[in-house]
Chain A
Amino acid sequence: MSRSPRWSPLLALCATAALVFAACGGAASPSPSAAGSQAASQPPASVPAFDQVSYPEDGSSACGTEGYKGQIGSIKAVDAKTVEFALCAPDAAFLSKIAFTSVAIQDADYLEETGGGGEALFRNPVGTGPYKLKAWTSGSDISLETFADYWGDPPKTPNAVIRWSTEAAQRLVELTSGNVDGIDNPGADDFDAIGANPDLKLFPRTALNVMYLGMNNTKTYWDNDKVRQAIAMGIDRQRIVDTFYPPGSSVATHFTPCDIPFGCTGEEWHKFDAAAAKALLAEAGYPDGFTTKIHLRALPRSYIATPVDVATDVQDQLKKNLNITAEIDVQDDTTYLATASRGELDGIYILGWGADYPDVTNFLDVFFGVGADEGFGKKWDDITAPLTEGGQSADKAVREAAYTTANNLIKQHVPMVPISHGGSATVFKADVEGAHSSPLGNEGLFAMKAGDRDQIVWLQGGEPGGLYCADETDGEALRVCEQIMEPLYSYEIGGTDPLPSLAETCEPNADSSLWTCTLREGVKFHNGATLDSLDVLTTFAVQWDAEHPLHVGREGLFEYWGYLFAGLLNPPPPAP
């Protein structure tokens, strides 16, 4: 809608102002509003009306097209401040998914400038966040400074420095010697010492992960249901958690941690009963036990801090409780996952999983759903069916029923034995206000005030590979991205609830298959550009469409897209 300009002085002033804003902010223009109070800020006739853009470009939906397995049908930039996401099936977890750091909004022009990949993009990220990147000294540290034009509250501490060390003891020494303000993942055995130190404060992290003993049901011994059930009952899981896990960890009653909705519906896991387990093993045909292996890798993860120690204990328990002789086989850190997921491990293997986004589909579907890998051998159809049902319904009652069924069947079939949910923590100097830990590992440094110092120094476990978070998989990179970039919704500080961020709201339609997001006004990028719906569209399209010219990235893998929205548009043909 256009209006003829009226040359009253007030209007002239507003027109000039609008021209200036339009010049700075690109194609965006204030959306026409019926409210009378808006009448003064009329766009001058020279700014073009917004052209609707959708992806796929011809306006069609990707759902149902051949070979497409994804959840998104189409994305439409309705006007400068509104974006519509049409999904192929109702998705109750949509808000949780768009709050994930990999879909933080990038500047479309910057993506074009850098060709969607390359060193410039992943060493010099441009976001809308409260901090912006000042310098990244490779191998040493990343320093951030306040972004003056941030739309919200400025960061509580003007500067931030992020360092890293892979050794837990070293991190603690740095903290106790006063060189840093906060650290990630202290050693499990140091919790008591930290608690006793009045200068430090410990923030336990809810454990959104699981550690399990995997078994491939196509291999000898594990193809026998009774053997697997014997293992399920024959391990004293409490002993493992008490001995090797830090406070805040818990024995797994279900595969999914209970903090995740629908994670703990259904019966709890088998109780430890060595005698019954031994009897079951005898029934299975192995009254004297058998010989097998325990496979693991020595790399500490969020779900297991000391894998070797745990494996040694499992070995001891198998021998004492079930007379099973297991040889410990420490595999190479990098080949282990591929070997496990291809189902090549003959014995019991120790592995785990950490949540990407806080929904039960990110646990159960990954391992027991239709798309799961060969790790546990053949899938159970009676488990995959309710999982598919639960993932597609937005109805709480339907989901509850589906996941109860699924959990009970998992308990019955014993594809694996869940052992623990590994707690961890962050530790900060006592004078850091607003210090916290995030269950998703997304601590917000911008919300912390480091006493009266003008910089806050955070020491994490590793260096980011790159900061183009659409193409990163490492939590260490994602956390840094969190300070610099923002998605449409963000997880609340220290929690898992998605709250509006760059979007003022994202409203679903009746069955949650169409989501309409309204963007916030006046949001600027670190390079001065203004946020509009094209930026949102491009951010998503670039990751979604494998044939998009800007689908380049750092690794070129865009791994998280698959976990969030199931499939790429125009995926490359599968490997021969």
Chain B
Amino acid sequence: MTVTTPPAMELIEGDLRGSRTTSIWRDTLGNLLRQRNAVIGGAILAFFVVVAVFADVIASYDPNAILISSERGAKKLAAPCIHALGCAAAQPEHYFGIDGNVRDVFSRVVHGTRVSLRIGFLTVGFAIVIGGLIGALAGYAGGKIDNFLMRIMDVLLAFPSLLLAIAIVTVLGSGLLNAQLAIGVVAIPVYARIMRGSVLSIRERDFVTASRALGESSYGLLGRRIIPNALTPLIVQGTLGIAAAVLDVAALSFLGLGAQPPQAEWGSMIGLARNTIFAAPHLVIFPGVALALTVLAFNLLGDGLRDALDPRLNR
């Protein structure tokens, strides 16, 4: 998990932040397209987004439909059968095979794309919003409030993230929503730190005093200087965070604590299939590859964004 921490890391983050203003977007896009990492990542992501949007059309079956009685020849744990690649015409066609409940794996993987993308964005969105609020408050208020809030963040960070998430889900009860909540909560400190750092760095700049003198309100300052300044590291960390979040929720589902049956979520599919890995490796391979590719896309994109947005790396 890409959890980063305390003062030492702050120094590193600080180095990478630079002092961009709001007119970064055009430059960034240009830079971004020059980063091959980001291009590959973006392409993969775009592919998955398309799959997610058109899942109903792409999937040949209902992901939760049990085919025992409705389809002749559907056998539990059947290997992938593609007629174009030589599979007998009498056998029903299932690109990714059939799972332990006699359901089509391809449809489940396709629909799982929706679930995973949603998980990623929702979880990280939640963490960014809450973390950002906490961090902004801490940085802006300073003093005791800052200290108090940051100590709480430190306490959260001191726990091994997966264990903390397991504990939270055990308390709240299993389920995809609770799993996302748990992972989101565990991820808050990182974004709080980033926002706080950004606030602090802005506060100390001359143009703040100048703006204030010119009558700019606190909110205006927040909106036009602080948040855009924090945006860069937030986006970079957020993109990487989505990768981690998708993996972590999959891990929770793998352990039986996240997505509940019969929902088609990649982690839970792998978890349920792990003991049939010899009899039916396709049940682990296809969702596993899908998961790995999605996470890879976000990781590459995040890396590329970081490179693109960092002034010193662009020489």
Direct A–B contact present (CB less than 8 angstroms): yes
Which residues of A are at the interface with B, using a C-beta cutoff of 8 A?
A: 167-169, 172, 187, 189-190, 192-193, 239, 243-244, 298, 306, 308-309, 311-313, 315-316, 320, 328, 330, 332
**With A243-B76, A313-B101 known to touch, is A169 a contact of B274 (CB < 8 Å)?**
yes
**How many angstroms between the C-alpha atoms of A332 and B170 in the bound complex?**
8
Residues of B71-113 whose CB lies within 8 A of A = 76-77, 100-102
Q: Which residue of B68, B256, B278 is within 8 Å of A172 (Cβ)?
A: B278
Interface size class of B (residues with CB under 8 A): 20 to 34
Smallest distance from the beta carbon of B269 to chain A beta carbons, Å? 11
Smallest distance from the beta carbon of A273 to chain B beta carbons, Å? 15
B223 lies within 8 A of chain A by Cβ: no
Tell me which residues across on chain A come within 8 A of B262, comparing CB atoms.
312, 315, 328
**With A312-B101, A312-B262, A328-B261 known to touch, is A192 a contact of B66 (CB < 8 Å)?**
no
**How many angstroms between the C-alpha atoms of A310 and B76 in the bound complex?**
13
Tell me which residues across on chain B come within 8 A of A313, comparing CB atoms.
66, 68, 101
Interface pair A187/B68, CB less than 8 Å apart: no
Nearest opposing residue in chain B for A308, CB measure: B261
**How many angstroms between the C-alpha atoms of A139 and B5 in the bound complex?**
33
B164 lies within 8 A of chain A by Cβ: no
**With A167-B274, A308-B261, A309-B101 known to touch, is A298 a contact of B279 (CB < 8 Å)?**
no
Tell me which residues across on chain B come within 8 A of A189, comparing CB atoms.
77, 100, 276, 279-280
B275 lies within 8 A of chain A by Cβ: yes
Interface pair B102/A243, CB less than 8 Å apart: yes
B277 lies within 8 A of chain A by Cβ: yes
Tell me which residues across on chain A come within 8 A of B102, comparing CB atoms.
243
Smallest distance from the beta carbon of A323 to chain B beta carbons, Å? 15
B260 lies within 8 A of chain A by Cβ: yes
Q: Which residue of B68, B173, B256, B261 is within 8 Å of A243 (Cβ)?
A: B68
B130 lies within 8 A of chain A by Cβ: no
**How many angstroms between the C-alpha atoms of A187 and B279 in the bound complex?**
9
Tell me which residues across on chain B come within 8 A of A308, comparing CB atoms.
261, 272
The 19 sampled A-B contact pairs (Cβ below 8 Å) are: A187-B279, A189-B100, A189-B276, A189-B279, A190-B276, A190-B278, A193-B279, A239-B68, A243-B68, A243-B76, A309-B101, A309-B261, A312-B261, A313-B68, A313-B101, A328-B262, A330-B260, A330-B261, A332-B170
Tell me which residues across on chain A come within 8 A of B174, comparing CB atoms.
330, 332
Encoded as 1 (CB less than 8 Å from any A CB) or 0, chain B from 278 to 300 comes to 11100000000000000000000
**How many angstroms between the C-alpha atoms of A190 and B77 in the bound complex?**
11
Q: Which residue of B272, B277, B279 is within 8 Å of A192 (Cβ)?
A: B279
Contacts A239-B68, A308-B261 known; 14 new A-B pairs at CB < 8 A: A172-B278, A187-B279, A189-B276, A190-B278, A193-B279, A306-B272, A309-B272, A312-B101, A313-B66, A315-B262, A320-B69, A330-B174, A330-B256, A330-B260
Interface pair A169/B276, CB less than 8 Å apart: yes
**How many angstroms between the C-alpha atoms of A550 and B102 in the bound complex?**
55
Nearest opposing residue in chain A for B173, CB measure: A332
**How many angstroms between the C-alpha atoms of A391 and B261 in the bound complex?**
42
Tell me which residues across on chain A come within 8 A of B66, comparing CB atoms.
312-313, 316
**How many angstroms between the C-alpha atoms of A384 and B302 in the bound complex?**
68
Smallest distance from the beta carbon of A302 to chain B beta carbons, Å? 15
**How many angstroms between the C-alpha atoms of A308 and B263 in the bound complex?**
11
10 pairs of A and B residues whose beta carbons are closest in the complex: A189-B279, A168-B275, A316-B66, A308-B261, A187-B275, A169-B275, A189-B276, A169-B277, A309-B101, A312-B262
**How many angstroms between the C-alpha atoms of A232 and B111 in the bound complex?**
35
**How many angstroms between the C-alpha atoms of A167 and B276 in the bound complex?**
10
* Most A Cβ at <10 Å: residue of B101, B170, B256: B101
**With A239-B68, A309-B101, A312-B101 known to touch, is A190 a contact of B279 (CB < 8 Å)?**
yes
